[in-house]
Structure 1
Amino acid sequence: MRRIALLFSVLCLLLAGCGRTTGQIPSDPPQGSSAADQAPQETASGTAQPEILPDDEIPDSSKPSGSSQPADAEIDQDAALALAMENAGVPEKDAYNVKVERDRENDIPIFQVEFETQYGDYDFEIAIADGTIIGADYEVDEEWLDRLGGSPVTLEEAKQVVQSKVPGSSAENVRMREESGDGRGRFEGELFHDGVKYEFEIDPKTGIIFDWNADLRE
């Protein structure tokens, strides 16, 4: 009996030892998941990881200053030429001997725009920074006035024609008088706006500005 009891005790000890393990091999992560999916959301110190926001949700105060649009809004040569032709009322097809060059006027970087037409020569000075016309000089040959067409204008309507050529100006600030010494008649006047003095002559029969000068004044 004692031998049987001893064998029984040894068998119990062996069974108890088989239930113990000295370590576990980590199981593979579930299919479809990655190590990043299994990563804890908190650091070892217990602090949550910062949230990464899309660019359009980042507060303005947190965005780097370089993310704003560049301050450079300069016009190019094509834009300068288009502005000059629009201001002069000259169709592109009528212009030839076109020249657009960088220059400076009163320490202002400009495009010097020059072109010719059958009815007159045109010269413009346009600020590169914003497209402001700070200088202009042209004269239309009077023999072309009727051929270019147009509609008769009164003195008050002629003031509005001038005002429309100078953005931001007011027709009330246009000083104009009627002259009739040469038989055909004309409106002569001047306007001072935003540091530029404009002098002009308008044909009453067609409403065409046939003499125009703009000069930046210090």
Structure 2
Amino acid sequence: MMKKYMAAGIVAISVLGATTGCGFTGGKDIGKDAALEAALQDAGVTKEEATRLKTSKDRDDGRMIYEIQFDANGTEYDYEIAAEDGTILTADTENVASNTAAQNKDTQGNESAQEAQNGQQNNTQNNQSQSAGANVAVSQEQAMQTALERVPGATESDVRMELDNDDGQYKYEGDIIYDQREYEFEIDANTGIILEWSEERR
């Protein structure tokens, strides 16, 4: 009888030890703010310079990580930070050079050149130049304003969008990342109607 109790005690201690050991590695968490700070420091970017900022917590290969995403100075940054100690696990960058800003610059240049050569051009031609030569009635700027109206507080720097031709139908596809939320949309390039809208819930 005594042996039975001793065996049960040993099993209980083993289970407790294993549980404690497992809990120990995942028990520490530096927190979202510290993870963001680690990413910003590595990128050499201040929080004020970062736009389209998004932070989320996830589990990868059994360890908790923070996924940090933001844009700054024409570059998109994607980080994975270990929640336990703030180690940077991955750091990816992509030159986005704000497609919208680049297209707006091109448009302004085109308008100036056209005005110098031919006087004033009608709005349809300007809209076509804004949409990279596509024959659409709604300019990228107009579509952007339509999307921004759905997200109070967001600005043009929070938006990324492009004109796409899907089976003969032109539409603007893009997303807005603002206040830690991501909104994805599709807008008809001829009517300005929002075809699809989705919001990532926290």
Higher normalized helix content (fraction of residues) = 2
Q: If you compute each CA radius of gyration, which structure gives the higher value, 1 or 2?
A: 1
Q: In which range does the TM-score fall when normalised by the shorter chain?
A: 0.3 to 0.5
- Higher share in strand: 2
Q: Which of the pair has the greater relative contact order for Cα pairs under 8 Å at 6+ separation?
A: 2
- What's the TM-score once normalised by structure 2's chain length? 0.33
